[in-house]
A and B are shown apart, each in its own frame.
Chain A
């Protein structure tokens, strides 16, 4: 079975991240009609199929990176993926969409990606902003909250492999630049850790964000 990589967010992620290879897509065709399942089984079935789709996505990612003979990056006890030596990567999924990226560690010291679907109830996410933090300009309230949420989730993922820290929303402060159409960039600061670059884009009801640290910046600030 193949993932449907014509989902627009796959291309958006590749545009956000020219330094890396991207794989993923929709696996909605792999699922039966939800109406054919009892209520109590729907979430379980989605999770089961999502796991299979994630493995397929990771195989596609390794192929795209020219590492097709390698094993699927396993989940380590701390929840992190065991990426091939010399590479950094990240995975994100939302309902029937799965995305993954891989980049050479000589280019990027760390990377985290996050995909979200904008929902009306996201208006209850106001608490994820620190008191002094501004929302990204040029977007609706709902979009700006979803963007901030997704960006911080990407930051959580990007910083963990290098710091080992589990962060909360108030631990991350994002300074947003002005938007460029439906895309926006910013800088995320989380305590004493190195600042991370944040790149996000909106596509219809979807948000995808990348947080990364360039290997050059990492080496400079670590020396």
Chain B
């Protein structure tokens, strides 16, 4: 596995954060569009619209692992994910990126 030194990591951080924001935006934009499209709260099949909201819980955050792999050369260490997940991408980045950079 490629080990990165500090000067190499400095320019990676904004690119990683930007990629994580783009990933989170993609995760949520479809649901936001559905909500704003005026669909009823109960979807065909009986699902509630809220149940389709892509929360940044531990499973969703685990799916972002390939982004860390691409930018840091190592997958996301799920031990670092805050139990219960995050309220938004800003708190996810604030918590996870420094930990992953330190681990890289």
* A interface with B by C-beta (< 8 Å): 26, 28, 31, 33-35, 39, 42-44, 46-47, 79, 94-97, 116-117, 121-122, 124-125, 127-128, 149, 153, 166-169, 205
Contacts of A28 in B (CB 8 A): 41, 48, 50-51
The 7 closest A-B pairs by CB, nearest first: A28-B48, A95-B51, A34-B35, A124-B63, A168-B79, A166-B79, A96-B50
User: Can you add 11 more A-B contacts, CB < 8 Å, to A121-B63, A124-B66?
Assistant: A28-B41, A35-B35, A42-B35, A43-B88, A46-B53, A47-B87, A79-B83, A117-B51, A127-B66, A128-B62, A166-B79
Taken together as a complex, chains A and B put the C-alpha atoms of A52 and B84 apart, in Å, by 15
Contacts of B41 in A (CB 8 A): 28, 33-34
Contacts of A205 in B (CB 8 A): 47
Number of interface residues of B (CB under 8 A): 30
Contacts of A95 in B (CB 8 A): 50-53, 55
Contacts of B75 in A (CB 8 A): 127
Contacts of B88 in A (CB 8 A): 43
In the complex, chain B residues 34-62 whose Cβ is within 8 Å of any chain A Cβ: 35-36, 38, 41, 47-53, 55-59, 62
In the complex, chain B residues 67-99 whose Cβ is within 8 Å of any chain A Cβ: 75, 77-79, 83-84, 87-88
Would B51 and A97 count as touching, CB distance under 8 A? yes
